[in-house]
């Protein structure tokens, strides 16, 4: 099986030396990916396309799988499945070409572009004219247009072998991975950050991943899955790092020391500070986020400028001007949406009255009260996993008791409810449940206090959306505490 991998058009307009470098990188990337799948792969670079040869013994299912992989490698514009057939005359060439292209040129403008190598009794122009006439005779609704064709019938004749194109599949486009350097993408469990990382991959940037863990093992497990999917599907030619920073104590310090309206912006500033230090260790020059202008309060132009001011490196935002629906549509196309739908994106710091234009002087004054040793400790506790090993040893998330109604709660013996919301949220909407003891332990203190609670009762965790309460319950279960569940609705 032979394939021609057409180069992304932006590669073909580069200078000769840059184009040759990109072609070499692309050929290496294709080899790295395919040779992990099967043996006997051959990849040969060319000026306009790469030629890939797969073993003829591959079963049909594996052939389809390999073709699909080729369409997801950055730098490839089109994947052409070819077949070499014997040909020594113009009429033989027409006999092979016409059946393959007749349907494609119907009611369309077309031209024939022929490449010929070897000794023949005709020129490349003769071949183009003969095939054009034969195609017009077979399909009268088509017409020739040499300047602005809708269809280009590509023909390659090498000595006495004609390359037929059996099928065409669109590629990912962009630049070969690695030719544009490295970046560090901040990823979470939502729609935006995986799409932002994918856009960087498509532009040839070797992308590492940084995750700030706000919700324990369940949160990290979900993000590991989407990151592994993104790496394996679109960038497996290069192994990269996944760095996880435990950020629960940083969130706790923000909730303790930062005024309500500034919490979101300051959380992001702490994240980019941590990201800069991780990037510095790896020699990475840029950060990547999934921010889209005005999507949330921390993503106004004013607040983004404040976040940038805390960074030593440029922060790239490939989704900055995209609508949310456009981002979701892309996530579905690259198959990351299903992860976001299963694990809603969570931010541990949600101000009740967030500043959309946070004053810089107030931000700096608030950060003066922040204990930066907490941030230092979080960065030192970071763990690094190679992308190829993200799912190694991963256990599926466990199950915890979920109570959906107060009627069910009333029938449970020896049960208490723990309101894990931050103090400000509890005061704004107090939790009151008749005949059931209610405790107030904010989520950032729960892991420390849980072990001190009597073990002869069951505890149901409550928060507004149910996301953090489930993650905290799973976190406790992972530590061997089975008597914690979730109260999903309090009214």
Q: What is the pLDDT of residues 209-241, one digit of tens each?
A: 999 998 778 788 889 999 999 999 999 999 999
Q: Give yes or no for residue 285 having a pLDDT over 90.
A: yes
Proportion of the chain above pLDDT 70, given as a percent: 96
At 351, is the pLDDT very low, low, confident or very high (cuts 50, 70, 90)? low
pLDDT of residue 352: 67
Strands 109-117 and 76-86: unpaired
Strands (E), 281-345: 287-288, 315-316
CA distance 442 to 253: 12
Q: Give yes or no for residue 32 having a pLDDT over 60.
A: yes
Least confident of 98-112, 165-179, 388-402: 388-402
CA distance 306 to 301: 9
Mean pLDDT of 357-370: 94
Topology given in CATH for the domain delimited by 182-389? Rossmann fold (3.40.50)
CA distance 445 to 422: 10
pTM higher than 0.85 for the full model?
A: no
Q: What are phi and psi of 383, to 5 degrees?
A: -115, 150
pLDDT of residue 312: 96
According to the annotation, is 186 in a ligand binding site?
yes
pLDDT of residue 347: 52
Q: Give yes or no for residue 18 having a pLDDT over 90.
A: yes
pLDDT of residue 428: 80
At 482, is the pLDDT very low, low, confident or very high (cuts 50, 70, 90)? confident
According to the annotation, is 282 in a ligand binding site?
no
Q: Give yes or no for residue 44 having a pLDDT over 80.
A: yes
The DSSP-derived string for 437-471 is: -EEE--HHHHHHHGGGS-TTSEEEEE-SSSHHHHH
The DSSP-derived string for 203-235 is: TT-EEEEEEEESSHHHHHHHHHHHHHHHHHHH-
According to the annotation, is 181 in a ligand binding site?
no
Q: Give yes or no for residue 271 having a pLDDT over 90.
A: yes
CA distance 371 to 90: 80
The CA-based angle 314-315-317, given to 5 degrees, is 140
Domain edges within the chain: 2-170, 182-389, 402-487
Least confident of 138-152, 342-356, 450-464, 470-484: 342-356
Q: What is the mean pLDDT of the chain?
A: 90
Alpha-carbon distance values, 287 to 134, 186, 317 (Å): 56, 7, 9
At 397, is the pLDDT very low, low, confident or very high (cuts 50, 70, 90)? low
Spot the catalytic one: 25, 87, 347, 463. Answer: 463
Nearest of 376, 36, 382 to residue 184 by alpha carbon: 382
CA distance 38 to 99: 33
Query: Using an 8 Å Cβ cutoff, are 359 and 266 in contact?
Result: no
Strand partners, 208: 184
Mean pLDDT of 441-454: 87
- What's 8's DSSP letter? P
Provide CATH code, domain 402-487: 3.40.250.10
At 455, is the pLDDT very low, low, confident or very high (cuts 50, 70, 90)? confident
At 396, is the pLDDT very low, low, confident or very high (cuts 50, 70, 90)? low
Mean pLDDT of 456-466: 86
Backbone angle region of 200, left / alpha / beta, with phi > 0 → left and psi within -120 to 50 → alpha: alpha
The DSSP-derived string for 338-389 is: HHHHHS----S---SS--SS--HHHHHHHHTTS-HHHHHHHHHT-EEEEGGG
According to the annotation, is 324 in a ligand binding site?
no
pLDDT of residue 152: 87
At 448, is the pLDDT very low, low, confident or very high (cuts 50, 70, 90)? confident
Mean pLDDT of 64-75: 94
Mean pLDDT of 19-24: 96
pLDDT of residue 283: 96
Residues 143-180: pLDDT tens digits? 999 999 999 898 889 899 998 887 889 999 999 999 99
CA distance 239 to 36: 12
| Catalytic site includes residue 87 | no
At 399, is the pLDDT very low, low, confident or very high (cuts 50, 70, 90)? confident
pLDDT of residue 346: 55
Proportion of the chain above pLDDT 90, given as a percent: 62
Instruction: Name 197's Cβ contacts closer than 8 Å, sequence gap at least 6.
Output: 185, 187, 207, 209, 230, 288
Q: Give yes or no for residue 336 having a pLDDT over 70.
A: yes
Least confident of 90-94, 112-116, 168-172, 420-424: 420-424
Hey, which CATH number is domain 2-170, 3.40.50.720, 2.60.40.10, 3.30.2130.30, 3.40.50.2000? 3.30.2130.30
According to the annotation, is 43 in a ligand binding site?
no
């Amino acid at each position: 099986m032979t394939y021609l991998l057409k180069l992304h058009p932006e590669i073909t307009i580069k200078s000769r030396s840059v184009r040759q470098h990109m072609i070499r990188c692309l050929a290496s990337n294709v080899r790295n990916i395919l040779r992990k799948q099967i043996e006997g792969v051959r990849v040969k670079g060319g000026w306009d396309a790469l030629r890939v040869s797969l073993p003829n013994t591959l079963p049909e299912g594996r052939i389809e799988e390999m073709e699909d992989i080729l369409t997801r490698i950055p730098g490839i514009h089109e994947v052409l499945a070819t077949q070499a057939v014997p040909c020594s005359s113009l009429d033989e060439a027409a006999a092979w070409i016409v059946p393959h292209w007749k349907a494609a040129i119907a009611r369309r403008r077309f031209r024939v572009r022929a490449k010929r190598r070897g000794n023949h009794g005709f020129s490349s122009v003769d071949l183009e004219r003969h095939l054009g006439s034969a195609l017009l005779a077979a399909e009268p609704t088509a017409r020739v247009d040499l300047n602005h064709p809708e269809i280009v019938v590509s023909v390659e004749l090498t000595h006495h072998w004609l390359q037929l194109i059996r099928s065409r599949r669109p590629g990912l486009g962009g630049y070969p991975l690695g030719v544009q350097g490295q970046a560090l993408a901040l990823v979470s469990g939502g729609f935006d950050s995986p799409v932002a990382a994918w856009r960087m991959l498509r532009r040839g940037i070797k992308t590492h991943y940084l995750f700030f863990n706000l919700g324990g093992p369940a949160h990290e497990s979900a993000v590991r899955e989407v990151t592994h999917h993104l790496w394996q599907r679109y960038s497996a030619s290069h192994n990269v790092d996944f760095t996880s920073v435990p950020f629960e104590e940083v969130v706790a310090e923000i909730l303790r020391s930062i005024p309500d309206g500034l919490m979101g912006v300051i959380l992001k500033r702490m994240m980019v500070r941590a990201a800069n230090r991780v990037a510095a260790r790896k020699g990475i020059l840029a950060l990547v986020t999934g921010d889209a202008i005005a999507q949330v309060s921390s993503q106004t132009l004013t607040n983004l400028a404040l976040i940038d001011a805390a960074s030593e490196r440029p922060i790239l935002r490939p989704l900055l001007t995209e609508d949310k629906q456009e981002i979701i549509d892309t996530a579905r196309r690259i198959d990351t949406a299903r992860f976001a739908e299963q694990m809603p994106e969570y931010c541990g710091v949600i101000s009740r009255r967030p500043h959309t234009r946070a004053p810089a002087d107030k931000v700096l004054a608030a950060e003066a009260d922040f204990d930066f040793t907490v941030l230092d400790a979080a960065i030192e506790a970071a763990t690094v996993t190679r992308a190829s090993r993200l799912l190694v040893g991963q256990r599926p998330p466990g199950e915890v008791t979920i109570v959906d109604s107060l009627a069910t709660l009333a029938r449970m013996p020896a049960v208490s409810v723990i309101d894990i919301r931050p103090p400000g949220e509890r005061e704004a909407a107090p939790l009151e449940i008749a005949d059931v003891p209610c405790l107030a332990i904010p989520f950032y203190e729960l892991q420390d206090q849980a072990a001190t609670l009597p073990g002869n009762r069951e505890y149901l965790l409550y928060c507004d959306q149910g996301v953090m309460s489930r993650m905290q319950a799973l976190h406790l279960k992972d530590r061997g505490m089975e008597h914690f569940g979730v109260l999903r609705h309090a009214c």
